[in-house]
Structure 1
Amino acid sequence: MTFRLRIFLLVLIVAGTAIGATAWLTLSLTSREVSRLSAARDRHQAEIAGAVRRFGVTNGRWNGIDTVVAALSERTGLHIRVETEGSTLTDSDVLRGQPVGLMQRLATPVDPEPALDAHTQQEVSAITLTARAEAVDLSTEERKRRAVRHLAGPVPARPALPADLFAALPRDSGLAGPEAKAYYQLVQYRAGLAAVRCAADKHAIRLPALALEGSPYLSAEQRAAAPDCVRSAQEKVLRDTEWLDEWWQQFAQCRIDPMTVFDQCLAPAFSEAVGSTGAVPVRIYFGAGRDQDLAGLGRPALIGAAGLLVVAALGTAWIARRISRPVRAITGASLQLAAGRLDVRVPTSGKDELAFLSASFNAMAEAVQRSEERQRRLVADVAHELRTPLSNLRGYLEGLADGVIEPTPELFASLHEETLLQRRILDDLQVLALAENGDLAYNSEPLDLSELAESAVTAHRAVAANAGLHLLIDAPVPVEVRADPDRLRQVLGNLLSNAIRYTDAGGQVEVKVSRDELTAILTVRDTGVGMTPEEVSRVFDRFWRADPARHRATGGSGLGLTISRRIAEDHGGTITASSSPGLGTTFTVRLPAEMR
Structure 2
Amino acid sequence: MAPEVPLRNSLLLRLLIASFAISLVSIAATAWLTARSTTLALKQERGQILADDTTIQNTLEGFAASHPNWDGAERTVRDLARRTGRGIVITTRAREVITASDRSAADRLPLNASAVIDPLHLSPLPDQGAGPPEDVSRIDPRAVGPYLLPTPERKKLRQLARQEVSCLYDTHGLRTHIVEEPSGRPAIRAVPSGAVTPQTCATKDLSAPTPTEAKALTELTALVRTCADRNRIRFEEPLTIDTRFRLRQAGFEQGSSRLDDCVEEGRREQLAPHVAPAALLFVTSPSQTATPVFDLSRAGTLRVLGTTSLVLTLTIAITAIIAIRLIRPLRKLTNAARDPSGRHIRIPITTKDEIGYLGAALNELSERRERTDEQRRVMVSDIAHELRTPLSNIRGWLDAAQDGLADPDSSLVASLQEEAGLLQHIIDDLQVLAAADAGSLRLNPRKLSLRELAEQSLDAHQTAAQAGRVALTGHFTDDLTIEGDPVRLRQVLGNLLSNAIRHTPPHGSVTVSAYRVEGGVEIRVADTGSGIQPEELPRIFDRFWRAEQSRSRNTGGSGLGLSIVRHLVQAHGGEVSAVSSPGTETVFTVRLPN
Q: TM-score, normalised by structure 1?
A: 0.42
Between structures 1 and 2, the one with greater helix share: 1
Q: TM-score, normalised by structure 2?
A: 0.42
